[in-house]
Structure 1
Amino acid sequence: MLFPTGVFALFFLLVFLAHWALRRHLLADRWLLLGASFVFYAHWSFELCFLLLALGLWAWGAGRLVAPGAHARPPWRLPLAVAGPLLVLGWFKYADFFLAEAGALLARFGLEAPPLLGIILPVGISFFCFQAISYILDVARGEARAEPSPLFVLVYIFFFPHLAAGPIVRAAHFLPQVAAPSDPRRIPFLMAGLLILGGLCKKLLLANTLATQLVDPVFRDPEGAAAADALLAIYGYAAQIWCDFSAYSDMAIGVAALLGFHFPRNFDQPYRAASLSEFWRRWHISLSSWLRDYLYIPLGGSRGGEARTARNLMLTMVLGGLWHGAAWRFVLWGALHGAGLVAERFLGLRGAVAGPRRWLGMLLTFHLVCLGWVLFRAPDMEGVGGILTALGRWEPALVATPLLAALTAFALALHLLPGDWVERLERRLVALPAPTLGVGFGVAILLIVTLGPSGVAPFIYFQF
């Protein structure tokens, strides 16, 4: 079920009304939210809802076993607890990848390759597996309590606004909200509406248009692309993936806010970063902080000297790349970012800078990120080579047009807006009567739907 569709609008209206009607009955309301989340996911696959249920129950039971003071917890309990979600993730996401690599190796020695399993990747599996791991580890560290009933844990992991593509919300942050009654007097209607409206605009007008008219045609056939086509498609994909993913995050935050829940911010103008380390503090913040707290720091972080720090950075980013997809291009994408972070640390370029040096850092960081996006977007390594080769093909452009160039520039220029634009606009609009705001939002949504291309493409991060 996609956010910018009539089906979701009707679904959410029913959930919204029922949720606030049950606000005085906490358990009944949480059962409602859990049922709504499974209906939301069943729109893609009813059968895989049972996988969600099994994973959630595992996380709840594991939390009971690894909680501090749980019967003098033996050391094997925590690795076993975390292994459950990791095995689910590994089976669905990486089994066919490793079988294909093993088959290629066997073929070199004239041996028969094993058949692929044809496993279908569940939508959002990486996100809800990481949610489960977050709960288990937060409980083990004493940062969240082990819930006596599975209900709240299941709502935390599978709450439908973040189920398919995040943000990855920490158990210590979200479980107290699940356990407390929602207060209808504290619903930030205007803020939520602005986030949803901005998300619709970024997704339907910008991301979908750039995808269908520029990025997809060039990356699908790089052999027929000229240098201008390839270059604009690379910039276009940088704009598309930011508009697409930040749109989902904004709408998820807005939808959750209308139900009385707070999600953390997931993007902070990432292309304004003057270094890769700053980029990862601004891009997909919930994932980068998850990797830092649950992978980089447990590996040793920056303790133990520069060599070990470089190793930990590389391992974290390579595994982060592999998290995005079972393909060597994602591994190389993670390695590129890891090597960049190591180089920045070695050269002392991680600190905040100002003036011309900052602008130069922003320019270099943006183009390094764009180079990584080629690995991210191309269907395979042959496609990567095709795009890079096309950059040297000085022929008349076939796809790039002034209109698409202007649309790409406009999407990237949104980074020049103040970081608190929602709060500023909210302060200006708060004095307007509610009917006026309602009509304004309705007209804006109608214009966005009318001006955008027909159909709604799935969000990019659904595949992860």
Structure 2
Amino acid sequence: MLFPTLSFGLFFLVVYTLVWSVNRSNEWRKILLLLASWVFYGAWDWRFVALLIASAFLNWGTARLIVATPDWDPARRKAILIAGVVLNLVMLGFFKYYGFFLEQLGDILAAAGFTRDLPLMEVVLPVGISFFTFQGMSYLADVHAERLEPAKLLDVTLLMSFFPHLVAGPIVRGSDLLPQFAQSPRLTRDMASMGLVLIVWGLFKKAVIASELSTGLVDPVFFDPAAHSRLDLIAAAYGYAVQIYCDFSAYSDMAIGLAALLGYRFPLNFNQPYRAVSLQDFWRRWHISLSSWLRDYLYIGALGGNRRGFARQCANLMLTMLLGGFWHGAKWTFVIWGGLHGGVLALERVWDRHRPEWLPHAPRLLGWLMTFHIVVIGWIFFRSDSFDGALAFLGGLAGGGMDSAVLTPLALVLILFGMAIHFTPPQLGQRVAMVLREAPAPALGVLAGIAIMLIDAMRFEGVAPFIYYQF
């Protein structure tokens, strides 16, 4: 079930009505939300609802074992934590990386002169598995570090299954959501108005900007970069930067808005990332829930961050981003994308540490231009189907004509508008919501309905799945 569809709209109206009709019983509300989340996930493939339930039982039971272990036996507590994390990773690895590792093993054996058929199975990738396994692992880490009390089975299961963030984030941590599950939610005017603004804005970014750029420009060029001119390649590179932002931030906005209408608060996941003046600044603004997860649990928690010297800090940055790239998918292009970001992050630290005192700081405009184009180059690897395809794309940027076969005035306008979004006042959405909060509830609903109908009239045929559904 895709957010920008009539079927999801009807589904959410039913869920919204049922949930607020049982406002005297928080437990029944959570049960209804859990069942609705399973229906939402099961609309894609019912078989994998069992995987959600198994994952919740695994993390709930592991957390209980950690807490039941005496404080005077920290080694055993840590061993239980590691076992729980490993089991999560095994589940993720089987579904997401089985084929990749088997293919690499086959290549190694062939290079060594041992050619044989390997037991290849067709493994279906469950939608959103990377997101809910990361939520489970962060829950275990927080319980082990005593930052979070172990929750009831119902609450842990709902944390990992809650449909607004289930398939593409944000990666909402237990410390953010479990305390909210412990008490009956309230829907305030601020939450309702902000929720509707975010839903409408997300619909516009996805249905009008991202979908049109995808079908009209980005997909044709990336499918066969050698067949397109340099102008088309340049346009597609910038177009994909805008598309992936509008696509992914749209999902996050809609998830935050839907949760708000149900009485729950999700953390911000995007903050005008293409305004960044350094790559470190970019990762404070892009997919904030993932970047903060990697920082807290991998870079600092597992690798030690900057506590073991400067050289180790740079190595930790590189390893964190390599693993962050691999988290996105079982392709070398994702690893290269992560390595590019990790390398530049390390170079930024080196420059900050060794920059001559007499040399003035670079102008912010130069920092922005450099950062943005490093990100755009990274997106070429991220979007390309193969390493050879990425090289062909980069090679085409260095030569070829400037005649365009796919760049239209509409695509150019959408690219420019998508970039202009980043330079509007940061609190513009909140200001709009503050104005709307004064409107009567029926008027607010009518305004939202009119906006959605206008978006439906502007959008093009069909709704492509969100890019991050594949992760």
Aligned position for 1:424: 431
Matched residue type, 1:311: A
- Cα separation, 2, equivalents of 1:42 and 1:383: 35
- Cα separation, 2, equivalents of 1:366 and 1:145: 41
Q: 1:378 aligns with which of 380, 384, 390?
A: 384
Q: 2:367 aligns with which of 361, 365, 368?
A: 361
Q: Is 1:449 matched with 2:452?
A: no
Q: Is 1:86 matched with 2:102?
A: no
| Mapping 1:2-401, distance limit 5 Å | 2-67=2-67, 70=70, 72=73, 74=76, 75-108=78-111, 109-147=113-151, 149-185=152-188, 188-298=191-301, 299-348=303-352, 357-391=363-397, 392-401=399-408
Q: 2:444 aligns with which of 437, 440, 454?
A: 437
| Cα distance, 1:140 vs structure 2 | 0.6
| Cα distance, 1:165 vs structure 2 | 0.4
> Is the 2:195–2:261 Cα contact (8 Å) retained in structure 1?
yes
- Cα separation, 1, equivalents of 2:396 and 2:413: 21
Matched residue type, 1:77: I
- Cα separation, 2, equivalents of 1:187 and 1:363: 37
In structure 2, do the counterparts of structure 1 residues 447 and 349 end up closer, same or farther at CA, with 3 Å as the change threshold?
Answer: farther
> Is the 2:171–2:289 Cα contact (8 Å) retained in structure 1?
yes
| Cα distance, 1:428 vs structure 2 | 2.6
In structure 2, do the counterparts of structure 1 residues 194 and 388 end up closer, same or farther at CA, with 3 Å as the change threshold?
Answer: same
| Cα distance, 1:70 vs structure 2 | 4.5
| Cα distance, 1:440 vs structure 2 | 2.3
> Is the 1:127–1:164 Cα contact (8 Å) retained in structure 2?
yes
| Cα distance, 1:433 vs structure 2 | 3.9
| Cα distance, 1:67 vs structure 2 | 2.4
In structure 2, do the counterparts of structure 1 residues 69 and 78 end up closer, same or farther at CA, with 3 Å as the change threshold?
Answer: same
Q: 1:415 aligns with which of 393, 417, 422?
A: 422
In structure 2, do the counterparts of structure 1 residues 76 and 438 end up closer, same or farther at CA, with 3 Å as the change threshold?
Answer: closer
Matched residue type, 1:315: L
> Is the 2:190–2:434 Cα contact (8 Å) retained in structure 1?
no
> Is the 2:209–2:414 Cα contact (8 Å) retained in structure 1?
yes
TM-score, with normalisation over the residues of structure 1? 0.96
Count of aligned pairs: 461
| Cα distance, 1:115 vs structure 2 | 4.1
> Is the 1:139–1:145 Cα contact (8 Å) retained in structure 2?
yes
Higher mean C-alpha displacement, 182-191 vs 363-372: 182-191
> Is the 1:106–1:113 Cα contact (8 Å) retained in structure 2?
no
Matched residue type, 1:254: G
> Is the 2:193–2:434 Cα contact (8 Å) retained in structure 1?
no
Determine helix, strand or coil for the equivalent of 1:47. Answer: helix
| Cα distance, 1:386 vs structure 2 | 1.8
> Is the 2:96–2:330 Cα contact (8 Å) retained in structure 1?
yes
> Is the 1:214–1:399 Cα contact (8 Å) retained in structure 2?
yes
Aligned position for 1:406: 413
- Cα separation, 2, equivalents of 1:289 and 1:236: 27
In structure 2, do the counterparts of structure 1 residues 68 and 293 end up closer, same or farther at CA, with 3 Å as the change threshold?
Answer: farther
TM-score, with normalisation over the residues of structure 2? 0.95
| Cα distance, 1:189 vs structure 2 | 1.2
> Is the 1:104–1:113 Cα contact (8 Å) retained in structure 2?
no
> Is the 1:107–1:113 Cα contact (8 Å) retained in structure 2?
no
Matched residue type, 1:188: M
The alignment-based identity, stated in percent, is 49
Unaligned runs of 5+ in 1: none
